[in-house]
Amino acid sequence: MALSRRQFVGAAAGTAALAATGTATAQEEPDYGGWFDDVSNFDGTADKRGQDTVTITVGAQGNNGAFAFDPPAVMVSPGTEVVWEWNGEGGGHNVVSDGDGPLDSGSPVSEAGTTYSHTFDSEGMFKYVCVPHKSLGMKGAVVVRPGSGGSGDGGSGGQQQQGPPENPDYGGWFDSVSNYDGTTVDRTDADSVEISVGAQGNNGAFAFDPPAVRVTPGTEVTWSWTGEGGGHNVVSDGDGPLDSGSPVSEAGTTYSHTFEEMGVYKYVCTPHKSLGMKGAVVVGGPLGGSGGGNGGGSGQGGSDIELSGPQWLLSGSVLLAFFSPLLFAVAMRRRQNGRPPQTGEGGEPQRATGPEPVEEAAETEPAVELGHDEYDPKGTAALVAFYFVLIGLLWVFMYFVEFLGRVSIIG
Amino acid sequence: MQVHRFEKVWLGAAILLIVGFIATIAYGSVGVGVGMVDDSGGQISAQAVQNGNTGTQFDDPGVVKTGDDQYTVYVVARQFQFVPGTGDTPIRVPAGANVTFRVTSADVTHGFSVVETNINTMVIPGQVSEVSARFNEPGTYGLVCHEYCGAAHHTMGGSVEVVPPEEYDMQQENIDQSAADAQAQEEADQ
């Protein structure tokens, strides 16, 4: 996820309002210098100042797999013990400082429940990576800075007017969700909102409808099972308030939750998560207006196939190639038709269409008769000899120079 | 059927060429001693490799000296690195010595290919791939995974540093007796 500076500032300002997690304000957002450019689950710094211990999940969903730290960026007070806890997904991970630094959990381990902790006493920014998955974007940072943190205190009152921005950055959450059309359905006017579970989507009845919905704080959201697609449940992604229990399939089942805190609540159906059965509830943010406009525009995104310029060129030339024999035949026919009728030797008019009859050449007597062995194909022999020499040279070069000349397996 | 004498010549030459190819391969394996990768490495639990409790040198992979000019390199391939090999831990071996690579995977099938050499094998979880080689000239060789192993397969690589024997710093490698014993024990087990 490459962000321009303006987008980054915008995203930071937007996420600053996530009162649910107590995010630092835009002014306090540390400058990571592009460190999080390729980290898909980064959406701002989680302000955990004032807590004695802070836990970071290792192997959280992100970066196209279980290759993320969650939260990737965290701000703590000096003296805080930060605990990395492995969830056992995504193979072997470790926590190692980028460059010189205090963090080193050793070689990668994959076992769930593994923990590694470090107490940060001095202020500063501590960037770290999972060595095997660094290139995938498995990177994190701990910012140690004095302060009280913004979790739920009066300081966040000014931000509560905003809530999440108009188009929340879901960080790739909806990449694999087929029925998400890029819009967040605005239900900020409703007191209760219903989401159907087992709606059509993701190659079957494996979708939430609507997948993304915006509500005002205090709204009761009810998930209602359609009874299709087998057993579903509604469970928050990572830490979160939603948990409808084990999957059930009965039509008419409902589960509801009242969202009081602003924020973006991502959730999944556990059995069908890999199919793209994912959703999100955005609590707080813009009122009305935008939602209607987006809703109207979303209708056309469905079945129309839109082709860009290069795609037109490509499909056009493929079609042209496909029909070229036909076009050729038509052209030949037209040429035949255009020709004035000719008369043959017998004076009969030739057929206007079809190929002209070919006159057979008169057989002439050979000048010299040669026996089978009397003719020597010297040209062919020279060509064959040349090929043999070429093959022989390539053989010597490939086997004796290229192959045996290199370090070889000797056992 | 009548065959022209020219045709007889080049038919014979073609047959000679085929005999020559086969003779070359035979010479390579018998005369020069080019080896093949087989199952001599034995089997191992991939889960134990992942958790580091195999009870073999794979728990602490690296280079082990097993005799005069005999070295065994234990390499664990995992998504997406070679341990050792990737990053700032290149595999360091002395030139002129007989180096045996014992490579296994902790997760999925990987490849182990030392670029610009003929050292090239699959690394299959549960199986130890064993290949021996001798690097006569000092130099640095690339190491790549050439079996698709996941999203960051293209980043999985490393290097093999071949250093002159007199510069080979024994202190860097764990050549303690216990490791050599473990190796001897492991070979006795097979």
Residue with tokens 């020219």: B6
Asked if B103 and B68 count as a contact pair (C-beta separation under 8 A), the reply is: no
* CB count in 10 Å sphere of residue B140: 11
* Mean pLDDT, range A255-283, rounded to an integer: 85
Q: Residue A90: how many CA atoms within 13 Å on its side-chain side?
A: 26
Query: Would you list the domain boundaries of chain B?
Result: 1-34, 39-189
Q: Taking CA atoms, what residue in A is nearest to B51?
A: A109
Are A35 and A130 members of one domain?
yes
What is the C-alpha separation between A207 and A267, in angstroms, rounded?
12
> What is the arithmetic mean of pLDDT over A365-383?
83
Per CB-CB distance under 8 Å, the chain B contacts of A62 are: none
Q: Which positions in chain A touch B4 (Cβ < 8 Å)? A: 372-373, 377
Which chain A residues touch B134 with a CB distance below 8 Å?
407, 410
Structural domain total, chain A: 2
**Percent of chain B whose predicted confidence (pLDDT) is above 70:** 88
Of the candidates A91, A107, A410, the beta carbon closest to that of B132 is on A410
Confidence of residue B147 (pLDDT cuts 50, 70, 90): very high
pLDDT of residue A136: 83
Same domain, A124 and A192: no
Express each pLDDT in B25-72 by its tens digit. Answer: 999 888 888 888 888 889 999 988 888 888 888 988 999 988 888 999
Residue A303, pLDDT > 70, answer: no
In B, minimum Cα distance to A371 occurs at B4
Q: By mean pLDDT, which of A406-410, B132-136, B181-185 is the weakest? A: B181-185
Q: How far is CA A402 from the centre of its chain?
A: 42
| Distance of alpha carbon A106 from alpha carbon A116, whole angstroms | 10
Cβ-defined contact of B51 to A110 (cutoff 8 Å) = yes
Q: Which residues of B touch A407 (CB under 8 A)?
A: 114, 117-119, 133-136
Please tell me the predicted confidence (pLDDT) of residue A307: 67
Mean pLDDT lowest among A18-22, A79-83, A129-133, A285-289: A18-22
A323 has pLDDT over 80:
yes
- Across the interface, whether the CB atoms of A395 and B20 are under 8 A apart is answered yes
Residue B73: is its pLDDT beyond 80? Answer: yes
Q: How far is CA A322 from the centre of its chain?
A: 34
B32 versus B109: which is more confidently predicted? B109
CA dihedral B1, B2, B5, B10 (to 10 degrees): -30
Whether residues A196 and A92 share a domain: the answer is no
Q: What percent of chain B has pLDDT over 90?
A: 45
Q: Which of A108, A136, A381 sits opposite B78 (nearest CB)?
A: A108
Q: Is residue A369 one of the residues assigned to a domain? A: no
Contacts of B155 in chain A (CB under 8 A): 135
Enter the pTM of the model. Answer: 0.47
**Does pLDDT of A300 surpass 60?**
no
This model of the complex carries an ipTM of 0.73
State the Cα–Cα distance between residues A178 and A201, nearest whole angstrom: 6
pLDDT at residue A347 above 60?
Answer: no
Is a pLDDT exceeding 60 seen at residue B100? yes
> pLDDT at position B32, please?
84
Residues A237 and A264: their CA atoms lie apart, in Å, by: 11
What pLDDT does B189 receive?
Answer: 62
The whole-number pLDDT of residue B183 equals 58
For residue A395, the chain B residues in CB contact (below 8 A) are: 17, 20-21, 24
**Mean pLDDT on A214-229:** 87
The domain boundary, picked from A235, A260, A295, lies at: A295
Domain co-membership, A20 together with A146 = yes
CB contact under 8 A, A407 and B114: yes
The whole-number average pLDDT for the span A330-349 is: 68
Nearest CA in chain B to A67: B151
Domain-located, residue A132: yes
> Taking 60 as the threshold, does the pLDDT of residue B190 lie above it?
no
CB count, 10 Å around CB of A84?
Answer: 24
What percent of chain A has pLDDT above 90? 15
| CA-based nearest residue in chain B for residue A65 | B151
pLDDT of residue A363: 81
Write out pLDDT tens, residues A123-156: 888 999 998 888 888 999 998 888 765 444 433 3
Cβ within 8 Å, pair A91-B107:
yes
H helices within A154-308, ranges in order? 290-298
**Is A373 within the bounds of a domain?**
no
Q: Is A232 annotated as a binding residue?
A: yes
User: Inter-chain contact B131–A380, Cβ cutoff 8 Å?
Assistant: no
> How confident is the model at residue A13, as a pLDDT?
43
Residue of B nearest to A377 (CA): B6
What is the domain-level CATH number for residue A85?
Answer: 2.60.40.420
pLDDT higher than threshold 70 for residue A351: no
Same domain, A137 and A205: no
CA distance A378 to chain B (A): 9
Q: A309 or A151: which carries more pLDDT confidence?
A: A309
DSSP A205-247: B-EEESSEEEE-TTEEEEEEE-S-SS-B--EESSS-S-B--S-
Last residue of a domain, one of A252, A268, A295: A295
From the list B10, B32, B118, which residue is nearest A407 (CB)?
Answer: B118
- The answer to the question of whether A269 is labelled as a binding residue is yes
Domain B39-189 sits in CATH at 2.60.40.420
Based on the domain organization, do A137 and A66 belong to the same domain? yes
A169 pLDDT more than 60: yes
Q: Indicate yes or no: CB of B155 within 8 angstroms of CB of A135.
A: yes
Domain extent for A43: 5-154
- Out of B2, B9, B80, the one facing A133 most closely (by C-beta) is B80
Taking only Cα atoms into account, the Rg of chain B, rounded to an integer number of angstroms, comes to: 21
CA distance B83 to chain A (A): 9
Give the burial class of A122: count Cβ atoms within 10 A of its Cβ; 0-12 exposed, 13-18 middle, 19 or more buried: exposed
What mean pLDDT is predicted for residues B91-114? 93
A231 domain-assigned: yes
Is A125 annotated as a binding-site member? no
CB–CB contact A92 B36 (8 Å): no
Mutant choice from A136, A400, A409 vs B, greatest count of B C-beta within 10 A:
A409
Any domain includes A85:
yes
- State the pLDDT at residue A272: 79
Structure tokens at A4: 């321009």
End-of-domain residue from the set A154, A174, A193: A154
Per-residue DSSP letter, B32: I
Which pLDDT score is estimated for A354?
Answer: 65
Q: Which of A130-144, A154-168, A188-202, B131-145 has the lowest mean pLDDT?
A: A154-168
Mutate to test the interface with A, among B21, B24, B162, B187 (most CBs of A within 10 A): B24
pLDDT of residue A297 exceeding 50, the answer is: no
pLDDT digits (tens, 9 = 90+) for B6-25: 889 999 999 999 999 999 99
Q: Is the pLDDT of residue B133 over 90?
A: yes
- pLDDT score recorded for residue A293: 38
Is the domain of A41 the same as that of A144? yes
B106: chain A residues, CB-CB within 8 Å: 91-92, 110
Q: Which of B4, B10, B81 sits opposite A384 (nearest CB)?
A: B10
Other beta carbons less than 10 A from residue B120's beta carbon:
15
B37 and A409: CB-CB below 8 Å? Answer: yes
Please say whether the beta carbons of B79 and B107 come within 8 A.
yes
Residues of A in contact with B93 (CB under 8 A): none
Which residues of chain A have a Cβ shorter than 8 Å from any chain B Cβ? 64-65, 67, 91-92, 107-111, 131-133, 135-136, 372-373, 376-377, 380-381, 384-385, 388, 391-392, 395, 399, 403-404, 406-411
Q: Considering only CB atoms, which chain B residues are within 8 Å of A92?
A: 50, 78-79, 106-107
Examine the pLDDT at A386 and tell me if it is beyond 90. Answer: yes
Q: Which of A83, A252, A91, A68 is nearest to A172 (CA)?
A: A68
Q: Render pLDDT for A26-62 as a digit per residue (tens, 0 to 9).
A: 446 788 888 888 888 888 888 888 888 899 999 988 8
| Residue B133, min C-alpha distance to chain A (Å) | 5
Q: What angle do CA A15, A19, A25 make, to 5 degrees?
A: 50
B152: distance to nearest CA of chain A, Å?
6
Contacts of B129 in chain A (CB under 8 A): none
High-pLDDT (> 70) share of chain A, %: 79
Q: Supply the pLDDT for residue A295.
A: 37
In this predicted structure, what is the pLDDT of residue A98? Answer: 87
Judge contact between A211 and A239, C-beta under 8 A: no
| Cis upstream peptide for A108 (omega within 30°) | no
Same domain membership, residue A133 and residue A15: yes
pLDDT bracket for residue A19 (50, 70, 90):
very low
